[in-house]
Amino acid sequence: MSEDPAYADTDPPVTTLSLSPGVAMEAAVTALIGAIESPGARPPVLVPHRLTVRESSQP
């Protein structure tokens, strides 16, 4: 899991990307229920994310 604080304790600390899995699952279930109840094209759903830049991505 990218939210694990252990990634900050590696050498060098690792850059991580959190894709908000709980929010993504909720959006997926909501979209699935909507598609079942009313088939048709739907706009894309944007799920928030968080990039934690650490030393591993530094030059």
Quick one: pLDDT at residue 37? 92
Dist. CA 38–CA 15, nearest whole Å: 41
Quick one: pLDDT at residue 26? 94
Give me the domain span that covers residue 9. Answer: 5-57
Structure tokens at 2: 């990218």
Quick one: pLDDT at residue 36? 92
Looking at the structure of the chain, the number of domains it has is: 1
pTM equals 0.59
Quick one: pLDDT at residue 57? 87
Q: What is the pLDDT along the chain (59 residues), one digit of tens a residue?
A: 566 778 788 888 888 888 888 999 999 999 999 999 998 888 888 888 888 899 988 77
Quick one: pLDDT at residue 2? 64
